[in-house]
């Protein structure tokens, strides 16, 4: 067997309407118009869905803080330039989303935010001129500060 690509991510959410507003309205992800009780799908157009949200209600346990087993974050490529990353930062700030960091990873410039349930999301752009395929070690370069 060989994995061909990451197909989709499924997240449990407390309030489906709030999360649909975040992923669709704030991040601009296209909602796939299917009728599913207590769930919603989103696609960037690459496949039928890249994100599935399943509502579990307000009493669900929060994501534990600190080091733990499980997902750390997932990354979403949002453009090609730092200008687009700055625009994304302004949009998430205007929407009241929590920004938890930025980073220059040599191959990408990244902005880290939290969704309404505390899931961490990396919004990133690839750095022009960096060819990680020819220089795979660039992926492991030390993280540097990023000023947007």
- Could you say which architecture CATH assigns to the domain 1-58? Roll (3.10)
Domain ranges (residues) in the chain: 1-58, 73-148
Structure pTM? 0.94
Helices (H) and strands (E) in the chain, counts: 2, 8
Query: What does the alpha-carbon distance between residue 116 and residue 98 come to, in Å, rounded to a whole number?
Result: 9
Region 60-78 average pLDDT: 94
Q: Do domains 1-58 and 73-148 have the same CATH topology?
A: yes
Pick the CATH number of 73-148 from 3.40.50.720, 3.10.180.10, 3.10.250.10, 3.40.50.300: 3.10.180.10
148 pLDDT exceeds 90?
no
pLDDT at position 123 is 98
Q: Render pLDDT for 10-44 as a digit per residue (tens, 0 to 9).
A: 999 999 999 999 999 999 999 999 989 999 999 99
3-state percent breakdown (helix, strand, coil) of the chain, nearest 5: 20, 30, 50
Q: Is the pLDDT of residue 147 over 90?
A: no
pLDDT tens, residue by residue, 71-115: 999 999 999 999 999 999 999 999 999 999 999 999 999 999 999
Q: Model confidence at 141, in pLDDT bands (50, 70, 90)? A: very high
Question: How confident is the model at residue 47, as a pLDDT?
Answer: 92
């Amino acid at each position: 067997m060989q994995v061909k690509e990451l197909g989709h991510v499924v997240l449990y959410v407390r309030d489906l309407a709030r999360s649909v507003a975040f992923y669709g309205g704030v991040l601009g992800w296209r909602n796939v118009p299917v009728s599913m009780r207590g769930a919603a799908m989103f696609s960037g157009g690459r496949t039928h869905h890249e994100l599935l949200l399943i509502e579990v209600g307000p009493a669900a346990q929060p994501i534990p803080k600190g080091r733990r087993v499980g997902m750390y974050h997932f990354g979403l490529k949002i453009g090609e330039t730092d200008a687009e990353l700055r625009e994304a930062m302004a949009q998430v700030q205007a929407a009241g989303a929590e920004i938890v960091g930025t980073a220059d990873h040599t191959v990408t410039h990244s902005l880290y935010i939290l969704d309404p349930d505390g899931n961490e999301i990396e919004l990133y752009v690839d750095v022009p001129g960096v060819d990680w395929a020819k220089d795979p070690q660039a992926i492991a370069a030390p993280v540097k500060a990023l000023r947007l």
